[in-house]
Structure 1
Amino acid sequence: MSDVNFRKIDIDIYDEDVLVETELYDADPRDPAQVLNDTKQKATAVRSALSKGDTVGALTLVLEDPPYGPGVDEAKNLNLQTLVSILNSTKSAEVSSVLKSLSPDAQDTLMKYLYKGMAMPGWGDVSGSVLLGWHEKLTEIAGTGCIVRVMTDRRTV
């Protein structure tokens, strides 16, 4: 039998034009522990805003400066859970007005979270109808360009 170790050789180390994930976007400049701490503080502020009935403020808080990059998976999941609590607590009649009040960057970030929620096995803590309802309204307001920007952005939430 011939030697099968050739299948385990990483030939990309010999290629000068290889695409490395770290070259696609700048990593989050914050320390992973700081990112997690910031996300926990943000979750507390979001709960406070929701208790006051400020859905727009809560959604804006959770969507600004989201955790991204390697090593911050716990913060990413916490931010997703916080966002899901906002989506679940918003009445369907209010969704359009809430989405119209968001900036285009926040709308794109929300679309990233909607797709992340849909990619979870069993849809996580949220029902599919909630995610799809938000997706439908967001596509009506932000257009299909929002979807294209999310699909081509390398910074995943």
Structure 2
Amino acid sequence: MARSTLSSRFRRFDVDQYDENRFVEDDPEEAAAAEPEGGPGVEALPRTGNALRALRAAIGGRHGKEQAQGTMLRVLTAFKSSEIEEAVNSLDRNDVDLLMKYIYKGFEKPTENSSAILLQWHEKALAAGGLGSIVRVLTARRTV
């Protein structure tokens, strides 16, 4: 009379692929192909005067969380106050949200003089992304 529901035939796709906490190791060959060869690394770009290029590379880079935060903080401190607004306005909405995540992460672990610089970035990112950017950062499941 009653059918057995222990059968797994109804499951046609892998539900676990949608789990955000599932770790999938990236292919090292893809990571090596994504990084430019022969050019200066993200760390050296601010010193060579390419601060905007360093910001874009730091946002899109593949680093560990702690390394990415340190890299991002060094890139943000390399900008002059007059260049911040231009840099933020050149980013799209998703990158502004990611920048806001790094700004708030920087507020969690302040270093010497980093809070003043992060406040300047926060002001410009808020002007570009609006309050929605802050709400998206504070409610996001994924952290940086």
TM-score between the two structures when normalised by the length of structure 1: 0.66
- Poorly superposed stretches of 4+, deviation over 4 Å: none
TM-score between the two structures when normalised by the length of structure 2: 0.71
Q: Give the 3-state SS of the residue equivalent to 1:154 in structure 2.
A: coil
1:60 aligns with 2:49: no
**How far did residue 27 of structure 1 move?**
4.1
1:119 aligns with 2:108: yes
**How far did residue 65 of structure 1 move?**
5.1
Measured on the aligned residues, the alpha-carbon RMSD in Å equals: 2.8
The aligned length equals: 121
Equivalent in the alignment of 1:30: 25
Letter in 2 for 1:77: E
**How far did residue 47 of structure 1 move?**
2.2
Tell me, yes or no, if the aligned pair for 1:24 and 1:154 is still in contact at 8 Å: no
Q: Deviations over 1:35-81 (max 9, x none)?
A: xx87xx79x621232233111111111111555xxxxxxx2111111
Give matches, 1:69-148, under 5 Å. Answer: 75-120=64-109, 123-124=110-111, 126-148=113-135
Instruction: Return 5+ residue gaps in structure 1 as ranges.
Output: 1-21, 68-74
Instruction: Return 5+ residue gaps in structure 2 as ranges.
Output: 1-16
Quote the sequence identity (%): 32
Letter in 1 for 2:71: T
Relative contact order (alpha carbons < 8 A, sep ≥ 6): 1 or 2 greater?
1
